[in-house]
A and B are shown apart, each in its own frame.
Chain A
Amino acid sequence: MVAVSPRSSLRSDDGFSLIEMLVALVVTMLIVGTALWLLATDTVLAQAVPHAADLQQRGRLALTLLARDLSAAGAGPAYGRLSGALGRALPPVVPRRVGLTGSDPFNAARADAITILWSPAPGQATETTTAVAGDAPAMTVADAPNCGGVTLCGLTAGTNIAIFDESGRHGLYVVTAVSGAVATLRSLQPAPPSFAPGAVVLPVESHSYVFDTAARQLRSYDGYLSDAVVVDDVVGVEVMYLGEGRPPVRPKPVAGTANCLFDAAGNAVAALSTLAPAGDSLAPLPLDLFTDGPWCGEGDRRFDVDLMRVRAVRVRIRLQSALDQFRATGPDFRRPGSNINPLGGVPDLTVATEVTPWNLNAGR
């Protein structure tokens, strides 16, 4: 501070002139105004950025999980009569939810659901040595060379298994108890088929990815008791199938038995359409192709044999920002929100992938 002198005290008494005051006020307002504008913009952006990042993370998570399961689709027994891809006997991907609870009917085909089936342990393949009844199923299995003398080929309580044969007849079960060499099973679908001795037994995993429209969630169901949310705030799921234009030649039953494709003499009985492939390889498969039969298999595990054509699966998932305040109106927002600040909007994110599962493409 300046020391008080007669001159300076006189000056301070003078105060500011009007011009000085106005200049100071304008400068102050400009600086304060700019600072406040920056802070306000900053606040809006700082709130929106974590939600944009969250949206991307959810998108990547959903795609990663789906692509991982789809890549494994169709992994079948490594040993035994039907060794190779599951697609020799049954469809590894079906366009609906399948399992113990909330199954879609066998003749449904949805664009917003897919069930993927594969074996996590192809080496544990074996065959039944007793008939498996439709009601109260139980089984004993052969000590195949790959089982190495281990009881029930290593199948323990809690393992999910598939039992199937050449005709396309198949069922999914969970091993509920093991007593000596006998495994007690629980069928994972209503009206399970019965099997003669010699049906193939294989540990499998079944994952149904289903879009829950009301809750706006993508859920993953294991076909038994676990039905978990994969990601929230999903506003659209679209699954598309590409596959063979030529009619399927499997499942082919053993000589003397018939199924939906062949009579007992091994002659083709079904007149299936040949689709024009888009190019040399794959044809887009419309969903209604999967709802018109002929139907192979039995009970709730019946399937449209055109599902055996599937070679590639394309998935699109659209996600939105969780909070209403970050959604605005317009084509970028499936569900409009309350945002009116163009900087603060977090547009919907669409993630997409196409998977060509190795096991659906043997020979290609």
Chain B
Amino acid sequence: MTPSSQRVDDGFTLLEVLLALFLLAGVALVLADLTCRAVRITDRARRQSVMAMMAEERVEQLLGLSWGLGEAAAAVPVTDTGTDLTGALPASGGPGLGTSPVDALSTDEPGHVDFADRRGTWVGSGPAVPAGAEFVRRWRIARVPSTSECLAIEVLVDVVDAAGRRAGSFTGAAVRVATVKARKAA
């Protein structure tokens, strides 16, 4: 019997086998972690898309409210101060394009907030966070200081936190869109 043939007969020690298994498990763990990251990133991208979509939608809806000089020959300023956009469809009894409270983006001001589920579908308008809500959308209307004929419109969409949300508890990944609406004639 030579030393080398004896080595072959010895096979692996338990320690060697365990080491190999731990290595395998480590590699599997790293791979799993990578995939988990991909899943998280894809989900974050989905949330960002939905939030951007919701913000754009509300900006367009606010731009669609009357803030013009009418279609008559003589210009008469027309301002919508009665449309409620917090429902699934526009309704009466809301603030329209009336100036909103200054903290409308940081707290739930009636008429300036609504909630959507993870698909971006409207689920309610508060004051309590409705069941199934994943996103909160708030908007603020202000006159541009230097002119009374322009409105500054800001929309903020953020994720509702899992614990049911307390005011101001945000994730920091909010989408914020701002635009200006000027009075125009026909």
Contacts and interface: CB of A to CB of B under 8 A. Distances in A.
Interface of A: 1, 4, 12, 16, 20, 24, 27-28, 31-32, 34-36, 38-39, 41-42, 45-46, 49, 52-53, 56, 59-60, 63, 67, 84, 242, 249, 277-282, 284, 311-312, 349-356, 361-364
Contacts of A350: 119-121
9 contacts: A16-B14, A35-B28, A38-B29, A39-B31, A49-B39, A56-B45, A277-B83, A354-B57, A356-B61
In the A-B complex, the 10 residue pairs with the closest CB atoms: A279-B83, A363-B186, A356-B64, A280-B80, A280-B82, A278-B90, A38-B28, A363-B71, A31-B21, A35-B28
Interface stretch (B2-10, B99-107, B142-150, B154-162): B2-10
Interface string B95-115: 010000000000000000000
Contact of B83 (A281, A353, A361): A281
Interface residues of B, number: 57
A32 B23 CA distance: 11
A38 B32 contact: yes
A279 B96 CA distance: 8
B113 to A, nearest CB: 17
**Which of A4, A35, A53, A280 is most buried by chain B, counting CB atoms within 10 A of its CB?**
A280
Interface string B17-39: 11001101100110110011011
B165 interface: no
B49 A279 contact: no
B3 A351 contact: no
B74 to A, nearest CB: 12
Contacts of B167: none
A57 to B, nearest CB: 9
A67 B6 CA distance: 77
Contact of B66 (A35, A63, A281): A281
A55 to B, nearest CB: 9
Contacts of B69: 363
A20 to B, nearest CB: 8
Given A49-B38, A281-B65, 16 more contacts: A28-B17, A39-B31, A42-B31, A42-B32, A46-B35, A84-B186, A242-B90, A279-B85, A280-B80, A280-B92, A280-B96, A281-B64, A311-B64, A349-B119, A361-B64, A362-B184
A364 B22 contact: no
Contact of A52 (B42, B57, B96, B186): B42
